[in-house]
């Protein structure tokens, strides 16, 4: 079994908060955006809230992956959203240092893509690997990342003409990116998603460079990444992985492998926390089902499909087992 995906880390609330704002602007209220996540608007308003990647994935699924939504989200980011990481990029000595820090501290930028950096005789290329992102929300998160990068990197370098972007997208997604990135050299229908920076911009000093501040911020960013990657409880880790793919949830063996433990160890640790894999699976599904039913925007059949059930009857039996009532009564009570 491969390691956990690169995006599976805790993050601040800004990325989720901006997704909810996108949903609101497209007619989806906050309660519907946050259905099944365990998060509230008050949680997202607090800077000390930590969001599991699975929770942010669930918000994206509640909004839906329509072309342009990711570009809309990406256009709302500022360096301030990234906290310490944003200031570290701002105070880097050169364009090369800024790109290095951006790739290293991608977990602090709410990224779901996995960036990698290579340099050749012409300049630097940051590849935006997207193969680990669940397919049903991949377009949204890649759009978001391309737009973030396309807006912020030229501003940091102070040399927009030294940067161009390549994307596999064409059609509606490419049009949405062009609209969100006026003046940026965007090349569509490419083999990969990537940012390209000319060599001259790599070596040029940045206007806000401060080596002492940059060094201190780099240390603090590294410590923050380690803290956010650390789990405070096995139950939280399992919930996040179940939320990441509700329609095709991973088995206990698959979750155990991704957490680098054997299934018996996972079962024992969950028991120590007073729960089990089956209980967590049912808890996640029951909570999401109830919130989706109460939101009123989906039929019982649509809620069933969202949770991976092939028919409404099977879902209704399961829902009654979880909650003691039927989906129809839950909707009526709302």
Question: Can you give 33-54 as a three-state secondary structure string?
Answer: HCCCCCCCHHHHHCCCCCECHH
Residue 3 counted as domain residue: no
Give this prediction's pTM.
Answer: 0.73
- Same-domain status, 199 and 222: yes
CA distances from 231 to 70, 226, 228, 257 (A): 28, 10, 8, 15
Residues 176 and 247 in one domain: no
Q: Is the pLDDT of residue 127 over 50?
A: yes
CATH of the domain at 241: 1.10.10.60
Task: Evaluate if residue 291 carries a pLDDT over 50.
Answer: yes
Q: Which residues contact 185 (CB under 8 A, 6 or more apart)?
A: 161, 163, 164, 165
Mean predicted lDDT score pLDDT of the chain: 88
Indicate if the pLDDT at residue 2 is higher than 50: no
Same domain, 197 and 292: no
Q: Identify whether 270 is part of a domain.
A: yes
Q: Taking residues 182-198, what's their average pLDDT? A: 95
Lowest mean pLDDT among 1-5, 27-31, 149-153, 221-225: 1-5
Tokens (6 digits) for 123: 């300049």
Above 60 in pLDDT, residue 125? yes
126: exposed, middle or buried (C-beta count within 10 Å: 0-12, 13-18, 19+)?
buried
Q: Which of 193, 226, 259 is the last residue of a domain?
A: 226
Same domain, 23 and 68: yes
**Are 314 and 173 found together in one domain?**
no
In a domain, 164, yes or no: yes
Are 261 and 117 contained in the same domain?
no
Position 123 in a domain? yes
The three-state secondary structure class of 326 is coil
Residue 1 included in any domain: no
Look at residue 238 in the predicted model and tell me its pLDDT. 85
Cα(279)–Cα(150) distance, integer angstroms: 43
- CA 322, 324, 327, 333 torsion: positive or negative? negative
How does residue 1 score in pLDDT terms, banded at 50, 70 and 90?
very low
**Is residue 2 included in any domain, yes or no?**
no
Looking at the fold, whether 168 and 240 belong to one and the same domain comes out as: no
- Whole-number Å distance between alpha carbons of 287 and 175: 37
CB 35 within 8 A of CB 291: yes
Beta bridge partners of 51: 11
Query: Count of domains in the chain?
Result: 2
Angle at CA of residue 177, ends 17 and 117, nearest 5°: 85
Q: Say whether pLDDT at 3 is over 60.
A: no
Q: Indicate if 65 and 132 belong to the same structural domain.
A: yes
Mean pLDDT of 165-187: 96
Residue corresponding to tokens 């460079």: 209
Across the beta sheet with 194-198, the strand order is 114-120, 123-129, 194-198, 163-166, 185-187
Determine the pLDDT at residue 284.
82
Of the candidates 213, 192, 214, 8, which has an alpha carbon nearest to the alpha carbon of residue 100? 214
Domain final residue, candidates 226, 250, 284: 226
Q: Residue 209: inside a domain, yes or no?
A: yes
Runs of H (alpha helix) within the chain: 14-25, 30-33, 41-45, 53-63, 69-74, 84-90, 95-104, 135-157, 171-180, 199-203, 211-229, 234-244, 252-258, 263-272, 277-295, 300-306, 312-323, 327-333
Q: How confident is the model at residue 4 (pLDDT cuts 50, 70, 90)?
A: low
Same domain, 19 and 164: yes
Which band of pLDDT confidence, cut at 50, 70 and 90, is reported for residue 8? Answer: confident
Residues 68 and 38 occupy one common structural domain: yes
Query: What is the domain extent for residue 135?
Result: 14-226
Q: Are residues 210 and 317 in the same domain?
A: no
Residue 128 lies in a domain: yes
Partners of residue 163 on adjacent β-strands: 197
| Phi, psi angle pair for 11, to nearest 5° | -150, 165
State which of 226, 246, 274 marks the end of a domain: 226
Question: Which tokens hold the place of 15?
Answer: 């990325």
Q: Which of 114, 175, 182, 101 is nearest to 142 (CA)?
A: 114
Under a CB-based contact definition with an 8 Å cutoff, are residues 144 and 255 in contact? Answer: no
CB of 56 closer than 8 Å to CB of 20: no
Do 214 and 260 lie in a common domain?
no
Residue 120 has pLDDT above 90, yes or no: no
């Amino acid at each position: 079994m491969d390691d956990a995906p690169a995006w599976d880390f805790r993050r601040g609330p800004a990325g989720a908060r901006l997704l909810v704002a996108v949903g609101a602007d497209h007619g989806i209220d906050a309660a519907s955006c946050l259905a099944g996540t365990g998060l509230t608007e008050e949680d997202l308003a607090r800077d000390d809230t930590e969001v599991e990647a699975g929770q942010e994935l669930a918000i994206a699924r509640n909004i839906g992956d329509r072309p342009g939504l990711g570009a809309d989200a990406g256009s709302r980011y500022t360096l301030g959203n990234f906290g310490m990481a944003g200031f570290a990029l701002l105070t880097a000595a050169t364009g090369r240092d800024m790109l290095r820090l951006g790739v290293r501290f991608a977990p602090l930028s709410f990224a779901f893509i996995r960036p990698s950096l290579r340099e050749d005789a012409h300049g630097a290329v940051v590849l935006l690997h997207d193969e680990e992102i669940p397919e049903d929300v991949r377009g949204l998160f890649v759009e978001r990342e391309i737009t973030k990068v396309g807006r912020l990197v030229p501003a940091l370098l102070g040399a927009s003409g030294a940067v161009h972007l390549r994307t596999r997208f064409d059609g509606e997604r490419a049009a949405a990116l062009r609209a969100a990135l006026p003046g940026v050299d965007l090349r569509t229908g490419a083999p990969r998603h990537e940012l390209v920076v000319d060599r001259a911009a790599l070596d040029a000093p940045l206007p806000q460079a401060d080596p002492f501040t940059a060094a201190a911020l780099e240390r603090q960013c590294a410590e923050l990444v380690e803290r956010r990657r650390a789990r405070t409880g096995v139950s939280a880790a399992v919930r996040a992985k179940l939320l990441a793919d509700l329609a095709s949830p991973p088995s206990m063996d698959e979750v155990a492998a991704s957490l680098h433990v054997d299934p018996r160890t996972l079962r024992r640790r969950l028991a120590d926390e007073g729960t089990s894999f089956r209980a967590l699976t049912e808890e996640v599904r029951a909570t999401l089902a109830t919130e989706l039913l109460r939101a009123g925007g989906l039929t019982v059949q649509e809620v069933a499909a969202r949770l991976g059930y092939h028919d409404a009857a099977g879902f209704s039996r399961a829902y009654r087992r979880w909650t003691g009532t039927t989906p129809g009564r839950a909707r009526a009570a709302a």
